[in-house]
Amino acid sequence: MSRVKTLGQFIIEKQADFPYSKGELSRLLRDIGIAAKIVNREVNKAGLADILGDAGEMNVQGENVKKLDVFANNQFIAALSVGGECCAIASEENEDIIIVNNEMSKNAKYVVAIDPLDGSSNIDVNVSVGTIFSIYRRTSLSGPGTQEDFFQRGTEQVAAGYVIYGSSCMMVYTTGRGVNGFTLDPSIGEFCLSHPNMQTPKIAHTYSINEGNYVHFPDGVKKYIKYCQEEDDSTSRPYSSRYIGSCVADVHRNLITGGIYIYPTTFKSPKGKLRILYEGNPLAFIIEQAGGKATDGFHRILDMDIKELHQRTPLFIGSADMVDIACSYMLKYSTVDA
Ligand code: AHM
Ligand code: MG
C-alpha cells in the first residue's frame, strides 16, 4: 500500500536539503497552503453564498473587483502577516505594498508577491481560477519591508507556486529544485503529493491565446497562429486551441500535457496584460524548473528588470520547442515594441 505524503510532511522533508535553514521558508509555504484551503472552501460554495459577484470597486488595474478577489486577498494577507517570516506583500489588488507591521516581522527575511485570485472573470461562471505567488529574500537589511525589496529579477525568486481551484484543488510549487504538485484531499483536508517532479513535454500540440484579439496582435504572433493552424503530418499540425482565460489553469494544463500559452501585446494592452511580479515571474520559474521556457517574445522573463510593482509583460510560456518556434516568428516578423 502506498503511503500518502502531505504537503506539510514534504516541506519538512525538503527543509533538510538546506542544513542552515531555520525553517522560515517552510513556514511561509505552509501558511500559504492553509490560506489556499480556506479560499478553496469559499470558491467551492461561491454559488451558494452571497459572496458571488462584483464587490463594486475597481482594483489598481482599473478592473472590476469580484467579492471573492477581496476575500482571497484578505485571507492571504492575513496568513502571510501572522507567521513573522514575511515583512512585506505586493498584491495585484493593492496599489502599494502592504507592510507587515508587527514585532515578529521586523526582521523577517522574505517578501511575497501574490495574485490572490487570478482569472477573476471566471468566478461567476464556475470555471477554474487560481492563486499565484512568488517569494523573494528581502534586499533591505531590517525594519519594515520596502518597495525596492520587490525590484529583483525573477532569477532571484527563492520559491514560487500557484494554487488552482478547479475540478480538484491543487498546489504546485518550486524552490528551484524541481516542481511538485499536491492535490487537496477534501476528506482529510490535506494537500497530498500527487504529481512529484513534474516535467512538461518538450513539444506538444496545444496553443492557448485569446484569438479574439487577433487583429491587434504583433505580426509575429499572427504568423505563429497561422503556423499552428497549418496542416503538416510531420509535426502533427494543425494544433488544438484551448483557452480558459485563467492563466493559472491554461499554464497548468499545458504544464501537464504540453503546449504554449501566449498573452502578447495588444492594442488595449500595449505592454501586455499580465503582471511580471506575481504572474510572469512565478509561472516562468515553475515552467523552467519543469523543463519549459518563458519569454516576452524576445527575452527570458526571469532576466527582466523590475521597475514597477504592477509592471506588465507580454508572456510566451510553455513547452520549450513551441516557445522557441513562436519566438523565432517574433524575431522574424515583429520588433520588440510591436
Ligand atoms: P486577472 O489577474 O485580472 O484575472 O487577469 C489575468 C488573466 C489571466 O489569468 C488570463 O489568462 C487573462 O487575464 C485573460 O485575459 P483576456 O480575457 O483578455 O483573454
Ligand atoms: Mg491575475
Asked which of 195, 218, 235 is the last residue of a domain, the reply is 195
Task: Give the residue whose CA is nearest to atom 4 of ligand 1.
Answer: 119
173 and 33 in a common domain: yes
Q: What is the pLDDT of residues 285-303, one digit of tens each?
A: 999 999 999 999 999 999 9
Give residues whose Cβ lies within 5 Å of ion ligand 2: 115, 118
Considering the domain architecture, whether residues 127 and 211 belong to the same structural domain is answered as no
Atom index in ligand 1 nearest the CA of residue 59 equals 3
- Tell me if 231 is assigned to some domain: yes
Nearest to 207 by CA among 257, 282, 163, 161: 257
Inside any domain, residue 1: no
Per-residue DSSP letter, 229: H
Q: Do 219 and 163 have their domain in common?
A: no
The pLDDT score that the predictor gives to residue 16 is 77
Residue 243 CA, ligand 1 centroid: distance in Å: 11
Pocket test for ligand 1, best of 251, 263, 317 (most atoms within 8 A of CB): 263
63 Cβ inside 6 Å of ligand 1: yes
End-to-end CA, the chain: 56
Is there an atom of ligand 1 within 6 Å of 264 CB? Answer: no
Residue 163 has pLDDT above 70, yes or no: yes
CATH for 302: 3.40.190.80
CATH number at residue 90: 3.30.540.10
- Expressed as residue numbers, the domain containing 142 is 7-195
Average pLDDT over residues 323-333: 97
Same domain, 188 and 42: yes
Q: Are residues 113 and 67 in the same domain?
A: yes
- 162 alpha carbon – ligand 1 mean position (Å): 15
Q: In this structure, which residue's CA is closest to atom 5 in ligand 1? A: 119
Same domain, 106 and 236: no
User: Strand, coil or helix: what is 278?
Assistant: helix
Do 124 and 237 fall within a single domain? no
Q: Could you tell me if 125 and 160 lie in one domain?
A: yes
Which of 43, 76, 118 is the pocket-test mutation for ligand 1 (most atoms within 8 Å of CB)? 118
Average pLDDT over residues 42-60: 69
> How many CB atoms are closer than 10 A to CB 277?
27
Indicate whether 270 belongs to any domain: yes
- Residues counted in the chain: 338
For residues 224 and 304, membership in a common domain is answered with: yes
Q: Are residues 258 and 131 in the same domain?
A: no
CA of 129 to the centre of ligand 1 (A): 10
Which of 162, 195, 228 is the last residue in one of the domains?
A: 195
Q: How far is CA 225 from CA 183, 233, 266, 301, in A?
A: 33, 17, 15, 21
DSSP 129-192: EEEEEEEEE-SS-SSS--GGGG---GGGEEEEEEEEESSSEEEEEESSS-EEEEEEETTTTEEE
b/e sequence 135-158, b meaning 16+ C-beta within 10 Å:
bbebeeeeeebbeebbbbbbeebb
Structural domain count of the chain:
2
Does residue 123 belong to any structural domain of this protein? Answer: yes
Whether residues 231 and 312 share a domain: the answer is yes
In a domain? residue 2: no
Check residue 226 and give its pLDDT: 98
pLDDT of residue 292: 98
Q: Do 268 and 185 share a structural domain?
A: no
Q: How far is the CA of 244 from the centre of ligand 1 (A)?
A: 9
pLDDT band at 83; cut points 50, 70, 90? confident
In the predicted structure, residue 249 carries a pLDDT above the cut 60: yes
Q: Find, among 321, 166, 164, the residue nearest to 239 by Cα.
A: 321
Contact call for residues 297 and 220 (beta carbons, < 8 A): yes
* CA gap 228, 214 in Å, rounded: 14
Q: What is the mean pLDDT of the chain?
A: 92
Is 200 inside a domain boundary?
no
Provide the pLDDT for residue 169.
Answer: 97
For residue 201, say if its preceding peptide bond is cis, omega within 30 degrees of 0.
Answer: no
